[in-house]
Structure formats: C-alpha cells, structure tokens
Structure 1
Amino acid sequence: MKPLEGIRVLEVAMYGFVPSAGAVLADWGAEVIKVEHAVNGDPQRGLRRTGQFVVEGDPNPNIEHANRGKRSIGLDMSRPEGKEVLDELIRRADVFLTSFLPGHRRKFGIDVEDVRALNPTAIYARGSALGPRGTESDKGGYDMTAFWCRAGIAASLTPAGMQGMINPPGPAFGDTISGTNLAGGIAAALLKRERTGEPSTVDVSLLGSGVWSMGHGIALSVHLDKAMAAPAPGVHGSPTNPLSGLYATADGRFLTFVMMQPGKFWADVARHIDRPELADDPRFATAEAIAENTPSAVEILRETLLTRTLAEWTERFATLAGPWAPVQDSRQVGDDAQIRANEYLVRAGELELAANPVQFDVSAPKLEPAPEFAAQTEDVLTELGLDWDRIIELKAAGAVT
C-alpha cells in the first residue's frame, strides 16, 4: 500500500511548479484530479520548444513530468454550472492544491475561506512566486525569476566579468524542487489533521525554495556581510586540497574528487593512479603538508589523470575509498548503472521519467502517464452522481469539456 492511498487531491494549477507537487502526491498514492480550462487546458500542454529541445507529437515530456498519474477534467469555473461541479469536487477533497494568484482565487471563489466554507477539514495548499505576505505577494513569477535569479543562485554561479548570468541547468529546475517541497508540506499537514483534526494552510514559494536551496551560502554571506563569488572558469577547486576539485581525462571528459580529509585518502589515490611513490612523498605526508603543496599536487594529478579515459578511470576507481564522481550530462545520466539500480528513472507509459527522490520500503514508485486533456471528465462527473442527461447539459452550456 502506498503512503497516501485514499487521499483525494483536487489540483487547480498550471505550468510546472504546483502540478509537480501533485505529481509527487500521485507517486505516493493519492488520487489527484487535475482541473484544466475547458477549452485550452493547462498551457503547459502547448509547450513544445524548451531551449534546444523540440518535441513533435505525443507523448510530450514537458507535460508528462509534472502530471503523471493524475486524472484530468476540463472545467470552466467562470460558468455557474462549472462552479457547481468544482464545489462538489471540493467537498470530496482532502487537499485543495492551487497555483492561482490571490486576485484570481477571489474571482473564481477558490480562496481559503471559500474552500473551507464547503469543506472545513480540507488542507489548503498554494504555491506562489514570492510568498503569501509582503507587498509583492500578489505578483506572479517563474522559476527563472523568483527561484534562480532573486534567491541568489544565478549570481553565485556566474563568474566575475561574464556578460549576463548563468542560466538554470534545465527546464523547470526550480519548479520541480519547489513542488517537492510543497508535497512534503502537504504530507505533514495531513499527519497533523489526522492527529488533531485541524486543517492547515500550506504555503511554498519559488523564492522561499530558492533561499532554502542556497541556505548554507546565504547564512555565511549574511553572517560575514560578504557575497559568494563564483570561481573563475578552469580553477581547480579548493586552494588547499588537491583531492577536492575537477580533473580532465584523456577523452575530454571530467571527474571530480571531493575528499574533505586529504591526509586520509592521499595514499589510496596515489595507488589507484599507479603513482605509489606519491604516498611516501614528504610533500604530501600530512594534511598540513598537502595544503601547503596543493599547487604541486594538482599539477601531478592533472597530468596523470589525462593519461586515461573516464571509462578507464571509472573501472580503476571502483575500489577507491574516497568520494568521487564522473561529470555527466543529462543524456549520460540515463545510462548510469547506479541510477538504474535504484530506479531513479521509471517508465510511465511510453516515456521514462525521473522518479521523485523519496522511496518507501526500498522500492521506486510505479508511475502512470499523464492524462490526455480532459480524458476523465465524464468518469469524474459520474462519480459525483451526475446522470448522462445532466452531463450533456453541462457540455452544452460549455461548463465541461
């Protein structure tokens, strides 16, 4: 049994952030009904070009990633008949999940007090760009603006002198992280309700998630009154630790060492790179000596690691005691044996999708593909007790798809 089986979630949300929270809840076993505009659906469905990627036809990963495992109903909330259907869905929900801005929540009658009037025990969960308080709480935004740029991530990654800013590494980067945060908050609120009977209003913003992701660096910066500065391109890494940095291999690939105690691991690294004499070199005999002679050690490691390919070093480093990793692009991740062993990529219909990072009982979630637009409208309506005459009336009125 999945942890959230029996929990009903009503999602009135668009794009990547809040729908990704619904996807995680669906992964955990909740029944998630996605309310989409009766004509246009979620605008994310029309996203075919993302940076360098162009998707032709279906399935479309741009919609599947954040909507797998849900059911879709096409509903016009602005029509009285559509609002009646929405109200009945609210009455039956454990969680009301929305990305709508405050003004639109009031316009459609789906703000906290509206939902609680219909369902006093519903968890009300909302995702925003900039948080529920302050003078900018009614403004919208995206992960690029609120998460990536405003929370300090872009500036902390961008080297001095570079024109512009480093962009996010992939689409919906901040959205997905923030959505997982929101799903976790909803799960905690469900536990509180089970224990106390009291529902919560759960808020997660892109800005707050960005600040949390940068939390260690922001705490240091505020404490020391100094902004983080990105290292110049090509810099090794730690200026006092040759075993904490990036190295090129013979085939133009890279690997990284992150061994925070170089004195503990130096001799083992020396043996694994076929340079056993380095283990007894007095320049590297202690952590203090290694720190003092880091430039020399870095030069030795750079020259040595350039003599073999990444695949060859990967085979040799299988028994290396200290932490290291290959630098992989997004396509190479799909061929990583450790990722496959842990089922961090899971098939959902025709696609393989990233599983949410939480596993229960050492098993990956079983994923279903995202629904086609409004595919379950009639099923959802019949489950509400509507007969076919009423469903036809609703369709004729344009209230449902």
Structure 2
Amino acid sequence: MGNILEGVKIVELASWTFVPSAGVALADWGADVVKVEDTRGGDPGRALVVGGLTREKSRTGQDFMLELGNRGKRSVGLNLKSEEGLAIFKKLVSEADVFLTNWLPAVLERAKIDLDELRAANPRLIVAQGTGQGTEGPDASAPGFDATAYFARSGYSFSLSAPDSIMPFRQTPALGDLPAGLTLAGGVLGALYHRERTGEALPVEVSLLAQAMWTIAPDITAADFFEDVDLVPKPPLGVGFNAVGHPYKTSDDRWIQLMFLQPDKNWGEFIRRVGLPELAEDERFTPAQNLFKNSQELTDILTAHFAAKPYDYWVETLKDETGAWSPIKSPKEVLDDPQTEANGYFIQNTSENGIQYRQVAPPIRFNKETPAASSAPEYAEHTEQVLLELGYDWPEIISAKDNGVVS
C-alpha cells in the first residue's frame, strides 16, 4: 500500500490539523510530503495543548495531536518573508506534483505566493486548498476552525444538540478536521488520476463548511423539501420512534445500541434471544407497522428489561444476533476491539523511548494493507536534506542558516 503514490512529491504549507491530516493520508499512501514551517518555531499546532494532555504527561514522550496530523512527513524551516527563502520555496514547489495549503487567499497574496504564478512555472502542479468557508464569497478570507465553520455555521451543532440542553453540542478535538482532511486527500487522488489521463492539473478545494454540510445533508435536504422543518425529526430523549432502533442502558450504566430497520426480519429471533418469548407473537408488536404504532410501549418494556442485567451479559447474549446492534464502546475499548485489529485499523509503532503505541490508520485501505509505521518530524528536522536534494551545496546551506533564511 505504501507504493501507490511512490514518486509523488507534495509540498505542504499548512498548520493545525485539517489540511495536515490530508498530508498524513497521502504520506501513508507513499507520497513524499515536505512540510514547510516558518523559522519562528513552525506550525503553531506544535504548541497546542488539548485537554491538558501535554507531551510530558504522555507515556510515549510525544505530542499526540502533532503525531496525528504530521506523521510520515519531512519538515523544512523556511523564512518566506525573505527573498532568498521565498526563492527556495518556489524552487521546491516547481519540482512538486501537489501544493497542499490551508493559507487563506489574502495571506498567500501578502506572502507573494501567487497560485497562478506557481502553476505557470509548474504546469503540472495540482494546488489543493483546505479552507474554513470556501475560496469564494464574502467570508472566503475569514478564519475557520472545526468549532466554527464545521460545527457552528453548517448546522451540525444545531442538529446534534438536545432541545433542552443548556449548551450546544461540543465536539471532541479534530472531529471535523479529520474527515475533511481525508476528503481533501481523496480529491488530490482524483486530480492526480485526471492529470495522468489528460495532462491537465486541476485545482482541488475542500472547506470545513462544505464537509459538514455533506455530513448532515439529510437534515439540510429535509429543511428544503418540507415546510416548517429545520431538521429530520428526532424523538425526545427516552422516546423511541422505533423501539428496536434505540439505545438501552444496562444495570451497570453501559449502553447497547439496536438498529433493526426492518423489524419483521429479526423480531421473533431477537425477542426470544433476549428472554421475552411471550412477545414474539404479540399483536402489539407484529407486524412492523404495529411495532411502530406501539413503539413507546415496547421501548418502556425493553428499557426495564435491559436495565435488569449488566453490559457483559447483554454483549454475550447478543453475540450471534443477526439484526444490527452494537455495544457503545469507549475509545480505550476500541483500542482492543478484535475487529479493529483484524482489519488493520491501527498502525503499530514504537516511540524513541521504546514504548509501543498505536496510531489510527486512514480508513481507506488498498490491498488490505496497513500503512507502515511513521512519526511526526521534529521541527525543521529535514531542512539540510531537502536543500541538498534541490541542488544547494553546503556553503549555501550554511550561509542561509546564518542569515536566518532557513532553520
């Protein structure tokens, strides 16, 4: 799998997590991704602390968010405000297949990085941009993070927030960034394929706003199709429109999620399996239209029934159930789920201090293979290596360092 993009060169001028995560996926698929960072410390994501989880507290001695968004890349420190640094950057891009960036149009302009000029110098260059709200319109140059452009503006937070909640829905870190990054990586693959067929290098763009709108498209579409509808109707908490498409709490405060969209196919087997055989032929719940009509009554019965036994009991009882169901797991439990291991959903790695750890692999797999282990680069770790590849000699590199052009 590591070879499908072998020979593809990508220059990444991006920070935080959204667009860098696209670079991670492309690196996992074999591309050489060079991350360009400024000479004042690099990507501000290197200083980000989420939930008080610092590098010092980590058992691996690494920054978990930095690893998530930057493993597998090479890092170069460049001062793009200097003429010499800008010249090095343009030389780097002139030899690249893809320029990957989250810099806003106005910022690129101030930095004298004209995208049309870059593409004119390198007609094969695919420019891939990730933005908050898109590259056009009144807010094209407005900053956007997943909490704003993805969750707030798109309707996502509104859609997931309970009507009686004292606060809107709050996402976990990068919950919008990572799917948008993978979409951008997929767009790059499409552009590379098109260029291979036609020789034309098409620009690619993904915004957090567009990604979120795609994610909640059923709600947005329903709001357009139906009068006085702002999202697909949801039952109040504790109420089930479909009693066998509902979560149930166990006696030890865990949850089991059922999702039988065609209850008639599974009803008899399921209700006998969970220990309520007397309901198998109950006309209140069969056929399916009666179950839906009396869904709240059945929800109340199943709520009491599941609450009588612990989580492990129900997981064992339902293990051979043919209808769709799942235990609601914690992230720590997902680490040891045999299904995730069997499918290669984790990349096994070892830190510099000898600690083994796992990284989540991109969900797109090729040939059933998991990407090779990789780590995020230290700041400007590969500056000299990349400059040598560009044809600079050691005296030129030393001079550039002394003059603050590179780190």
Task: Bin the TM-score by the shorter chain.
Answer: over 0.9
In structure 2, the CA distance between the partners of 1:321 and 1:232, relative to structure 1 (3 Å rule), is closer
Give the structure 2 partner of residue 151 of structure 1. Answer: 154
1:116-195 matches, within 5 Å, as 116-168=119-171, 170-195=172-197
Whole-angstrom distance in 2 between the partners of 1:378 and 1:53: 32
Whole-angstrom distance in 2 between the partners of 1:230 and 1:99: 36
One-letter amino acid of the counterpart of residue 122, structure 1 = L
Identity %: 38
Whole-angstrom distance in 2 between the partners of 1:156 and 1:52: 29
Say if 1:102 and 1:111, in contact at 8 Å, map to a contact too.
no
One-letter amino acid of the counterpart of residue 338, structure 1 = Q
Does residue 110 (structure 1) correspond to residue 113 (structure 2)? The answer is yes
Does residue 86 (structure 1) correspond to residue 92 (structure 2)? The answer is no
Give the structure 2 partner of residue 196 of structure 1. Answer: 198
State which drifts further: 83-92 or 102-111.
102-111
Say if 2:100 and 2:128, in contact at 8 Å, map to a contact too.
yes
Give the structure 2 partner of residue 298 of structure 1. Answer: 299
Say if 2:19 and 2:102, in contact at 8 Å, map to a contact too.
yes
Say if 1:3 and 1:28, in contact at 8 Å, map to a contact too.
yes
Aligned-pair CA distance for 1:42: 0.5
Give the structure 1 partner of residue 354 of structure 2. Answer: none
Whole-angstrom distance in 2 between the partners of 1:165 and 1:354: 28
Say if 2:347 and 2:359, in contact at 8 Å, map to a contact too.
yes
In structure 2, the CA distance between the partners of 1:233 and 1:295, relative to structure 1 (3 Å rule), is closer
Does residue 370 (structure 1) correspond to residue 372 (structure 2)? The answer is no
Aligned-pair CA distance for 1:166: 1.1
Say if 2:347 and 2:358, in contact at 8 Å, map to a contact too.
yes
Aligned-pair CA distance for 1:311: 1.6
Give the structure 2 partner of residue 56 of structure 1. Answer: 56
Structure 1 segments, 4+ long, off by >4 Å, are: 229-233
Give the structure 2 partner of residue 333 of structure 1. Answer: 334
Aligned-pair CA distance for 1:229: 6.8
Aligned-pair CA distance for 1:274: 2.0
Whole-angstrom distance in 1 between the partners of 2:349 and 2:382: 18
One-letter amino acid of the counterpart of residue 116, structure 2 = E
**With structure 1 as the length reference, what TM-score do the two structures score?**
0.95
In structure 2, the CA distance between the partners of 1:341 and 1:82, relative to structure 1 (3 Å rule), is same
Aligned-pair CA distance for 1:291: 1.7
Q: 5+ residue gaps in structure 1? A: none
**With structure 2 as the length reference, what TM-score do the two structures score?**
0.94
Aligned-pair CA distance for 1:232: 6.8
Q: Aligned to 1:391, which of 379, 392, 397?
A: 397
Aligned-pair CA distance for 1:152: 0.5
Give the structure 2 partner of residue 210 of structure 1. Answer: 212
Aligned residues: 397
One-letter amino acid of the counterpart of residue 159, structure 2 = S
* Partner SS state of residue 173, structure 1: coil
Q: 5+ residue gaps in structure 2? A: 352-356
1:344-363 matches, within 5 Å, as 344-350=345-351, 351-363=357-369
Say if 2:245 and 2:260, in contact at 8 Å, map to a contact too.
yes
One-letter amino acid of the counterpart of residue 218, structure 1 = I
Whole-angstrom distance in 1 between the partners of 2:236 and 2:300: 17
1:21-36 matches, within 5 Å, as 21-36=22-37
Aligned-pair CA distance for 1:122: 0.3
* Partner SS state of residue 135, structure 1: coil
Does residue 9 (structure 1) correspond to residue 15 (structure 2)? The answer is no
